[in-house]
Amino acid sequence: MATTAEQDARKKLFFEMPSFEKTAAFSSLKNYALSPLDLTKEGVISPERIAKMKALAAGFTCLYGFEKVSDDVLQALFQLADQRKALIQMQAMQSGEVVNFIEGVESENRPALHTAMRDIFDAPNSGKAATNARLLVKKEHEKLKKFIDEINVQKRFSEMILIGIGGSELGPKALYNALSFYQRKDRQVHFIGNVDPDDVALTLGSVDLKKTLVVVVSKSGTTLETATNEEFLRSEYVKQNLNPNEHFVSITMPGTPMDDLKRYKAAFYVWDYVGGRYSATSMVGALLLSFGVGYDEFIDLLKGAHAMDLVALKTDPKENLPLLSALLGIWNRNFLGYSTEAIIPYAQVLHRFPAHLQQCDMESNGKRIDRRGEPCAFETGPIIWGEPGTNAQHSFYQLIHQGTNIIPLELIGFIEPQSGHDFEWKGTTSQEKLLSNLFAQAMGLAMGQKNANPNKVFPGNRPSLLLLAKKLTPYALGALLSYYENKIAFQGFIWGINSFDQEGVQLGKVLAEKQLGLFKAEHEGQKAEPFPLGETLLQISKQV
């Protein structure tokens, strides 16, 4: 267990090491970027290169030979990770040391312990905070198992509505959809995130409230959109002469207004050191997945996530898949100048996964100041987006192949369909056609095509990374989720930014509260606090 003195020494080490742009590796990489590897050059993309540039971890095979990296670039990237003490910082995060901080200015100043939400299988790692977190998680799992067993025996509830926003909805929804063929046939889960009343109305039109559990997720217990939607649904229960307190369950921090068993059928806990976008393996995801898929399947998901968390602690960067991928992303972002990254799962059930990763990455690493509170002298997080293949190929791949912007891709594929159902036609199965498209895109983006007709020229030299696994099981899904969470954290550590707060969402909340004051004052016939621009917009809205 790290002592306070050891933690202080580690923090001091962080501030004594050279910043990202002042490392020796940064200078080397800038020089390499002046004449980067050309993937279209004859002989570059070879069977030997693809076989050599391969990493195996937690059931996934990563092929990075289609990235624009040479052996020299890889070595410089590994030196960058070492010079920025990336692995030491990951160890500190997973052991529960304070990593959510910005020195010299007010910040949240706490651990980021989402990894402890799934580290309930092995002997505890070092770190008192992480050990205490695991004990709390185990208690919640005992409560959860008992609750789910009772629900299964009673057979009273066949539907669930989860009310949350941001990470409280995006991650759980992505995981639930990703396990479509593991879902219980007698259960269905619905999601309400948007404060748009149509979101609630659409859900109400498809459920029987008498048979529905409502799970309300808010760490603070006061999130405006969530609280509004909760009261909306409660009013619908009252209209049907149902007692909402017998149907509503809360997931919140201890001691909040939602930690109230007089108002909720049950209350499950999350803690302030688990960020919303990292909460899918906490009770936020546990309850709905245990209900809609199965408790044992959720445990398998946790085992996969934990396995990849351990991979993120490996000292060899060629075996540390999240670190390797983070470094390749930094090469593309900071040295080749690519501002965006598309994540394309060749698996239809992952159709909401890019949306979750969009929040997880952009809310974490969309920062303009470093841990010293100084403006960054370099680019930080890329723009993340994506859709499932092969649909995407018939949508935006035109720009990816022949547009003026180069967009690196992460392509995710599975050898077997999750459903177990496949269809052979014209000598190949549907899954083989899907995989053939995935492989073809990687080859085409890298090598391009020459043609006398300029309209049919594909410039190529466009990087991609392939992630492959046997089948999208709960275990594989957990490993995939953890891979991205740790990749994002590694990039933040190397850049020297705080990946674990989200001040960028606060300004809009403050202004929205002022605007709401105008609406409320108008309803009540009272005078509102002066807010001139808001008043102008209110009057214009009334004229629309």
Whether 236 is catalytic is: no
The first and second tokens of residue 362, run together, are 């952009």
Whether 394 is catalytic is: yes
The first and second tokens of residue 126, run together, are 């070092």
How distant, in Å, are the alpha carbons of 303, 329, 370, 460, 486 from that of 323? 20, 10, 20, 26, 8
From 279, 253, 256, select the one nearest 268 (Cα to Cα): 253
Residue 309 one-letter amino acid:
D
Which residues have a Cβ under 8 Å from the Cβ of 173 and sit 6 or more positions away? 162, 191, 193, 352, 356
Angle formed by the axes of helices 474-495 and 321-330, to 10°?
A: 50
Distance CA 472, CA 311 (A): 19
In DSSP terms, 497 is beta-bridged to none
Pair 163, 226: CB distance under 8 Å: yes
Catalytic residue among 394, 421, 523, 542: 394
The first and second tokens of residue 505, run together, are 């969402």
Pair 319, 362: CB distance under 8 Å: no
- DSSP 8-state secondary structure symbol assigned to residue 263: T
Burial 234-271 (b: 16+ CB within 10 A, else e): bebbeeeeeebeebbbbbbbeebebbeeeebbbbbbbb
What does the radius of gyration of the chain's CA atoms come to, in whole angstroms?
25
Bridge pairing between strands 464-469 and 188-192 = unpaired
Whether 363 is catalytic is: yes
The first and second tokens of residue 492, run together, are 């933040």
Angle formed by the axes of helices 474-495 and 86-95, to 10°?
A: 120
Cα 383 to chain centroid distance, Å, stands at: 13
Catalytic residue among 456, 470, 509, 520: 509
Burial 494-530 (b: 16+ CB within 10 A, else e): bbbbbbbbbeeeeeeeeeeeebeebeeeeeeeeebee
Q: What length is written for the chain? A: 544
Catalytic residue among 67, 140, 363, 485: 363
In DSSP terms, 102 is beta-bridged to none
- Enzyme catalytic residues: 363, 394, 509
